[in-house]
Amino acid sequence: MLLGIFSDTHLGFGDDARYEEAFDRFDESINFFKEKNVDYILHAGDLFDHAIPTQEVWHKTMKCFNKNSSKLTTLTKSYLEKKFDVEVRGIPIIAIHGTHEFRGKDFSNALAVLEEANCLLHLHAGNVKLSKNGEEVYIHGMGGVPEKHAKLVLQKYSPKPIDGKTNLLLVHQSFKEFLPFDDESIASLSLSDLPDGFDLIIDGHLHWTNEQNVEGKRFLLTGSTIFTQMKKLESKKGKGCFLFDTETKKLDFFPFKNQRKLFYEKIKFNNVQPEEVILAVNQKLSEIFSNEFEMIPLIRFKLVGTLAKGFSGKDVKLELPLDKAIFSVTKKFESALFKRQIDNLKELQKEKKGVIEMGITILEKNVEDANLVIDTRRLFDLLSNDEIDKAQNILLKN
């Protein structure tokens, strides 16, 4: 059996050329899987960029799925010890939701909608049996959950491979081994927490590719199909998708034919004039633009160090050729005037909490102080969606 694997397509991302690119890469992946005659397709989360896609994103998404429309295949998935039959059109796609699609249990997520439209099978905390010519392969999956709860959720799910069969596990979480610091709000899982006995564990969420064998566990980080954050690790290897042969256990990576190039340039300075920074940046740009590109490249400049006395980052006025590249520029120049702001930024980076997570943390503290035992995430989702009556019922039960 031949399986196609990809992840983090982030349909709906961006408001520049990358908005269309996300849909193009999705189409390219499906077309590639068709050409290779794969039997099933696995998607490891963050199919969409937003939990509630706009009508325009839904429209373009359905156009993509309609290109994978032919016969219906009936698959049976398990969830909470129950069985459900799901019909999927074309080459059957099995997908878990990512952190971008995560919603509380009181609300439907986007993948559940796609499952109702027979576009894919949405797998979470269960498994599905795939069959071909007498061969059986089991796909297990746990959709993305808030990082601080991921370890506990995985322990409760506790997926077990089916004896004598090929078993793959899909997850969508951060792992401590891939992050620069230890913070459970960013990652509560380590690779050692993953269950034994699976032929391949596939993880989405982090946008660069990586393959490891840890304590006998074969682990694949799929990476994303497009650049969203311009991270250094993403600049080292192109975007693409994978094929996995369930008989030989061979895993192959196939880069996309046409894709953007990402240049990540960190330049350090010591007690320099603003003009020296501008000169160094322009020299790097000249080097980059000496090449030809089919698609305008992504360029991220990280400028760090110190400026001469009396100058700040505001004095470094770069004139970037916005028609030739998509830029991201970070200026972290230390000076007495900006030391407090830089310290605050470092604290925020250490915290790594979005507005929603901060709100949930505050609510959790209030719930603790009130000696209540409730699902705080569910309560927060209900309150943020104006479901006041449901939230009140939860509180009254305590």
pLDDT tens, the chain, 398 aa long? 999 999 999 999 998 888 999 999 999 999 999 999 999 999 999 999 999 999 999 999 999 999 998 899 999 999 988 999 999 999 999 999 999 999 888 899 999 999 999 999 999 999 999 999 999 999 999 999 999 999 999 999 999 999 999 999 999 999 999 886 655 667 899 999 999 999 999 999 999 999 999 888 999 999 999 999 889 999 888 899 999 999 999 999 999 998 899 999 999 999 999 999 999 999 999 999 999 998 999 999 999 999 999 898 899 999 999 999 999 999 998 764 444 455 555 565 555 556 677 777 777 777 777 777 778 777 788 777 777 777 777 776 76
205 within 8 A of 9, measured Cβ to Cβ: no
Residue located via tokens 């090449």: 291
Q: What is the pLDDT of residue 368?
A: 74
Select from 326, 173, 306, 324 the least CA-distant residue to 316: 306
Q: What is the pLDDT of residue 337?
A: 46
Q: Which residues 6+ apart lie within 8 Å of 215 measured at CB?
A: 191, 192
Q: What is the pLDDT of residue 336?
A: 41
Select from 12, 4, 17 the least CA-distant residue to 130: 4
Q: What is the pLDDT of residue 352?
A: 52
CA–CA separation, 145 and 125 (whole Å): 11
Phi-psi region of 43 (alpha: psi -120 to 50; beta: other; left: phi over 0): beta
CA–CA separation, 197 and 211 (whole Å): 17
Q: Which residues 6+ apart lie within 8 Å of 149 measured at CB?
A: 188, 377
Given the candidates 3.30.2320.20, 1.10.287.3610, 3.60.21.10, 3.40.50.2300, the CATH classification of the domain at 2-255 is 3.60.21.10
Q: pTM here?
A: 0.83
Q: In what order do the strands lie in the sheet with 298-307?
A: 262-272, 298-307, 326-334
How many CB atoms sit inside 10 A of residue 195's CB?
A: 17
- ∠ CA 352-355-361 to the nearest 5 degrees? 80
Q: Which residues 6+ apart lie within 8 Å of 254 measured at CB?
A: 32, 240, 241, 242, 243
Q: What is the pLDDT of residue 174?
A: 94
Phi-psi region of 134 (alpha: psi -120 to 50; beta: other; left: phi over 0): left
Letter string b/e over residues 59-92, b meaning 16 or more CB atoms within 10 A of that residue's CB? ebbeebbeebeeeebebebbeeeeeeebebbbbb
Q: What is the pLDDT of residue 152?
A: 94
